[in-house]
Structures are given as structure tokens and as C-alpha cells.
Structure 1
Amino acid sequence: MYLPLSPAISEEHVAAGRRQPVTEVAFLFAELGTTDGHAGLGFSYATRAGGPGLYAHAKEIVPLLLGEDPNDVGRVREKLVAAGASAGRTGLAAQAIGAVDVGLWDLKAKRANLSLAKLLGSHRDAVSCYTTSGGSLSVPADKVVENARRSLAQGAGGIGIAVGAQEVSHDVERMRAVREALGDDVPLIACADQQWNRVQAGRHARRLDEFSVQWLADPLDAHDTKGHAALAATLTTPIATGATLTSVDEHWRLMTADAAAVLQPDVAAIGGITPFLRVAALADQHHLTLAPHFATELHVHLAAAYPGGAWVEHVDWLAPLFNEKLAVENGAVAVPDQPGIGLSLSERSRMWTTDRIEFAESV
């Protein structure tokens, strides 16, 4: 399934010729049914590239689910991992399995007649949220302020602002305009999108300390653990990263190096809820803030079940895919109380579906 985006998402990487604009998001959905009439829904996604690969890998291994007990999420997931081991245990292979893993957890929660958050052990009924939809680099400072005020009026609790321009004055101007307009009490998040090298990050990030930023997200390549650790040691602003990492091990290396104060794992990137929960448990042991990336509809459950400080990024890109809508008010996203993840596919999503395949046990 391909979800069209209008307007396309375009940032500094695009202007520099390093990336293409994001015009659509490819989704892999897994609809799981049981002989006693229960059903689970899971999904994974990819931007710019990878959608057909996710689908191809899933088609090869999903038949191994037939006849398994869906309550045994861990064992079933490992069976799929082993079946596709020649393609690797991270990246695309894990992300294809992730759609099934999410579906198994959704199914497990539904069979227990609990929301996913309640099944996992919820710590809160609403999760603090910030929005990044109105602060991209191409938006002038006065328009960023206007968009931020609108987002706050619509219930957002914090404002994400893109930084990472080649000229640090551009970033400082925008950040100062928003801080002065909104006051000192509104949490601001600076989102660098991995656009700096180590030298640039050191110079630019220190200029942001004066604005009491909640955290600086992705100042360096996500895999540059040593660079993040060195930068974190020089700043008062907390560092956040992890959105594009694809394994528990990669997140573990960040934690043990004290490279980030805020972890931003993404269920789709890491390969499902099962590995996400492992990352969350490790993050809690390190007393880190958890701020999952993207897919608010799913991550709100996981953030609600996190014992420490937690945020979600509120983006409305996925809204057309589902019949249910999230409630955002007083700076937080309410955790849905329907069984499972609380989502069902809309008719529009069916129209955007480009291919589907069904597997069933012969009788």
C-alpha cells in the first residue's frame, strides 16, 4: 500500500542533492486471523525505498505462521527470523517481520480484551506530545511561529523545529523567533535530521543551548555513536537519536556510550513491538527519556507503558489509513482504550492497496 503525501516532505538534504522528496510512504499490513474468530492488525512502513522488498520477504516467510499459537509471540517471531536468516536479522528482513509482530501483539491484546498499553502495563492514560509538521527548514520564521501557535491551540504540548541549515544564523534566527513568541514555558525540540558532521554539530549545537531546547534530535549520522557521545559531553542541551536504527544492539551501543539522553526508537525500523520492548527496558535501566519516532497511533501505547519520562511525536500522516482518530488535548495524546492497538483500516486505505496475498490452512 502506498500512502500519498501532499505536499511532499522536502528538507535540506533534498536541496543539497542527497535525497529525493518524500512523496509517499509504503506500508506493509498484516491481517492475522484465528480459528476462534479473533483478528489482529499489524503494519510496517518504508520511505523513499524498500516497500516492495518488505512485501517480497513477508510473502516468503508468512506461511510459517499457519497452525501456530498466536499467544506465543516470541517463539513465533523467532521462527520467522530463522526462516529469513540468510537475508539478515536487521534492516529490511526484520522490518518485514515487524508487521507480523505488531499484528500478533494486537491480536494478543484483543483476546485479553485489553488495549495494548494495558496489556503491557500502562503507566499513564495520556502521553505528552510534540509536533514537527510546521517547522521545516524551508518555512520562514514568521510562518513557523504561526504554525506553532496553531499546533498549541490544537492541543500539542511541544513544538519541533527543523535545524541543520548550512548557515547557523538561519537556525538561530528561527529558534529565537519562536522562543520569543511562545515564551519560556513551551517545550521546543530542535530536529537536525542527521545533517551535520562532527565539526558542524559542535559549532551549531552550542548556539542552541541559549534557547533551553528540550532536546536536539539527530545532530549526526545515527550510527556515529562516538560522535554523539563526544557532542553530548559538551552541551547542556540533551541529545536524542535512534529513529533510523534497526536493531536492539545499535540502541544498546548508544546507551552504554552515554551518547543520548533521549531515545527515539521506531517500531517499524527496529522490527516490531518485541524488539522495541527490549530497547525500552534497557532505556529504563539507563534512566533515559523515551520519545518514539513517527506512527503516533502505535507508539502512544508503547510510550504509555514506559516507566520513565515519555513523549510521542504527533504526526497526522497516517490518519487517512484508519477509521479511528487520536484525541490530542492539553499537550498530550490520549491512549486509546479499545482492545488491541485500537485501529481498523479505512475504505480509503483499501483503495490505495496495490497488492495483497492470502494464506490459509487447508481443511
Structure 2
Amino acid sequence: MLANPLAAGLAVGEATTDRIAWVRTSLVFLPLAQAISDAKVLTGRQKPLTEIAFLFAEIETENGHSGIGYSYSKRAGGPGQFAHAREIAGELIGEDPSDIARLWDKLVWAGASVGRSGMSTQAIAAFDIALWDLKAKRAKLPLAKLLGAHRDSVRCYNTSGGYLSMPIEEVKERITMALEKGIGAIKLKVGQPDPMVDLKRIEAVRNHIGDVPLAIDANQQWDRTTALRFGRIAEQFNLTWIEEPLDAYDYEGHAALAAELAAPVATGEMLTSVDEHYELIRNNSVDFIQPDAPRVGGITPFLKIMALADHKKLQLAPHYCMEIHLHLTAAYAREPWVEHFEWSEAMFNEKLEVMNGRMIVPNRPGLGFSLSEQARAWARDVHEVGKRP
């Protein structure tokens, strides 16, 4: 035990049986095989995406238990997340790794001057996810089972083959490859300056896949009038949902749209707190809520959003991060969706299995992944605190 356990803010007691001894954070950049564009690029608001920044947190305890978690950022913010994580990592040393909710609060207050959402909580997410991974590993259970699973597999859809930077023939080829892998649905990016181009692409994909579930994603680039008009025309394609038709913070606009359209409305991926998701839920803004665990601050706040969504009987389809969200969606009461991306597969030693339209919850303890040597080779900065057991 540490010489001064009271320094961690805890009294010594029988319930505390282990302490965090060592924390390592690393900033890793994943290069994409080709630059990709969605509607945000076509409107001139962002540049094509060429790489993804990952913030990894690795935690080990005095008794030899370990956990790994990650957060991420696209285009900007990765170095900022790493800098904040480096500032607050020392707050975990000497703490009981089981006290995850209290530690989340402690880390938030350690950086309170930069707020309780956005980059600060995205940095905290990597630690929070690592602590949940550690807890499930110590219990020798997959995280889904630790949380209380409703299912051992989750419906999955593919997005990485449907970007606007790809000509429609390439989109169809990638869709075919995804379906042959066993993926169960497709999401297509929309939001072209000319909506008729989008309609032609949707029609081409619908004809290509038949009755396979199809969703579209405008990445917040429509105004209310365009979203309503386009949504009404697109209803003929039997869409599973229309994603981010409006600005992420337009709660009232999404609510009006959801009330008017037959196609379900989905949004939430860009929000970075429980409170922001609560506004979506409170305003009846969505049919599918799409929180992103690293963006909202980790698994601890994500579980709060899940509880709120379940109370309102909403559908759940988290954004990205299939390695994490597979376990969380498996623990949701209503049949959810998880998003499949091939991009991150090089980062981990393990691969997730897809079969008959569903992603299989692995039987490995914790989240079930470990960092690959390739990922470590892509690290641009590493920081350690404490002493490795």
C-alpha cells in the first residue's frame, strides 16, 4: 500500500483492496488509406479527413490488474486531449480503481476551469474507459456481461464505404464487400450542394442492396426547410433513419422534423455531455439517439444517457468506436445498432467478428482488445506517472 493513503482522499478500510500505481497516456495518429469527405467538406467548413488522433490510457494497479481505454479526435484536438490528460493523470495515483464514478468527478474537478464537456471530458474518457476495462478484467467477464447484457450480438451497419468523396461505383463495390463480410446494414453520406445528386446516389444504393436496411447522414449541413423537403422525398427509400439533418444543437428543429417525417430522425454524436443529450431527449428531438462514449466523457456518463434514453423508449445507435460501443449496446434494453468501421482495426491485436448482420460480443475479459505494435509505432508522444508494479 502507499505510505500515505489519505493523500488519495480515502480512509483505509476493508472495502479498498487495491490502488492505482501507474498510468501511461499516449497520443497515436492513425493514417487513413485515402482522404475522405462528407458534407462538412463540401460546404467548406472542414478539410478532408486524412488521419485520426487517438488518446490511449493504460492503467495498472499494485495488485497487478490492468485496463486500457481510448478517446479520439478528428482533424483537430488530439494534442489538446493529450495535454489535458497529461495534466490530470497524476490524480489517479493511489486511488481505488473500483471507485469509477467518484474518480470521474475528481478528474472533472481537477480541470474544472476548462469546463465539464468538450475536450476536457474527452480526455477523461480515456481514463474512465480504462477503469471499466480493468474492472471487467478483474471480474474475468466481458464488459457487456459485467454491465448486464441483454444480448450476445448486436445489429451492425457500415459507414466507411459511403463517403461523398467516393464515386457511386466505388460506393457500391465497398457496400458489396461489407455485406459479404456479414454486415447487416449500410449508411450513406448525403448533403451535396445539389440535393438531386444525393437522391440519385440513394436510389442507386437502394437498387443495389435491395431491402437491406439503409440510413443516410447529412452531417448537420441542412437547414430546417431543406431537411424537411429532402426528408419527405427520401421517405420512398424506406430509410432506417436520417442522421444529423440539422445543427447538432438545434433541439427544437430536430423535434419539429421528427414530428413531421415518417423516417426516424437520429442525432447526438457531436454532443459532449449528458446534459446536452438530455436536451435531445427532453425535447423529443430524436427517434435514434447516437451518443459517443469517448466524446461524452467515457462509459460512466454514457450509462446515464442510456438510462435516460431507455426511460423515453428511444432507439440507440452510438457513433463510431465499435470496440467500446459493442459492449454498451449489448447492455441496452431495446434492440440497438452499432457502427462498423474498418479504420481502427490496425490499432488492436484482436478483431471483432461479424456474422449474419450482427457483431458478436467477444468472450475475452473487459473490452477484449489490446494495443498493437503498429499502434505503438504510430505514437507521437507518451507520458507516464507513478511506478509500474
Same fold (TM over 0.5): yes
User: Paired residue for 2:208?
Assistant: 181
In the alignment, is residue 357 of structure 1 matched against residue 360 of structure 2? no
**Structure 1 CA distance for aligned equivalents of residues 239 and 99 of structure 2:** 43
Amino acid at match of 1:102: I
Please tell me whether the aligned partners of residues 43 and 193 of structure 2 are also in contact (alpha carbons under 8 angstroms): no
Matched residues in 2 for 1:195 and 1:236: separation? 20
Are positions 1:231 and 2:257 aligned together? yes
| Paired residues, number | 362
- 3-state SS, counterpart of residue 233 of structure 1: helix
Question: 1:6 corresponds to which letter in structure 2?
Answer: A
Residues 14 and 21 in structure 1, CA contact (< 8 A), matched pair in contact too: yes
Q: CA deviation at 1:362?
A: 10
After superposing the two structures, state which structure 1 stretch, 143-152 or 342-351, moved more: 143-152
Give the equivalent residue in structure 1 for 2:365.
339
Q: Over residues 118-149 of structure 1, what are the superposed CA-to-partner deviations in whole Å (9 max), with x where a residue is unaligned?
A: 00001111100000122222333344333222
Match of 2:327 among 301, 305, 315: 301
Q: 1:319 aligns with which of 345, 352, 364?
A: 345
Match of 1:205 in 2: 231
Q: CA-to-partner distance for each residue in 1:24-82, whole Å, 9 max, x for gaps?
A: 11111110000111110011001111111111111111101111100110111111111
Query: Corresponding residue for 1:275?
Result: 301
Is 1:288 aligned to 2:314, yes or no? yes
SS in 2 for 1:318: helix
Corresponding residue of 1:9: 36
The two structures have a TM-score, normalised by structure 2, of 0.91
Query: Given that residues 161 and 191 in structure 1 are in contact (C-alpha distance below 8 angstroms), is that contact kept between their aligned partners in structure 2?
Result: yes
2:39–2:190 CA contact under 8 A, matched in 1: no
The answer to whether 1:160 aligns with 2:154 is no
Task: Say what the alpha-carbon RMSD is for the aligned residues.
Answer: 1.4
Name the CA distance, whole Å, in 2 between partners of 1:293 and 1:270: 11
CA contact (8 A) 1:141 1:173 kept: no
8 Å contact kept, 1:135–1:160: yes
Matched, 1:100 2:142: no
In the TM superposition, what whole-angstrom CA distance separates every residue of 1:184-238 from its partner, at most 9, and x where no partner exists? 3x10011111111112111111111111100001001111101101111110000
Which residue of structure 2 lines up, in the alignment, with residue 149 of structure 1?
176
Of structures 1 and 2, the one with the larger relative CO (CA 8 A, separation 6+) is: 2
Q: Distance in 1 between matches of 2:209 and 2:49?
A: 30
- Given the alignment, which residue of 113, 138, 144 partners 1:117? 144
2:79 match? 52
What does 1:7-86 correspond to in 2, within 5 Å?
7-86=34-113
The gaps in structure 1 that reach 5 residues or longer are none
Check whether the contact 2:39–2:191 (CA below 8 A) recurs between aligned residues: yes
Farther off after superposition, 148-157 or 31-40: 148-157
2:289 to 263, 269, 285: 263
- Tell me the alpha carbon deviations over residues 307-329 of structure 1, each in whole angstroms, 9 at most, x when there is no partner: 11200010011111100001011
- Give the aligned partner of residue 330 of structure 1: 356
Q: State the SS of the aligned residue for 1:23.
A: strand
The one-letter code sitting in structure 1 at the alignment partner of 2:278 is: W
Secondary structure of the residue aligned to 2:82 is helix
SS in structure 1 opposite 2:343? coil
Which structure 2 residue ranges, 5 or more long, are not aligned?
Answer: 1-27
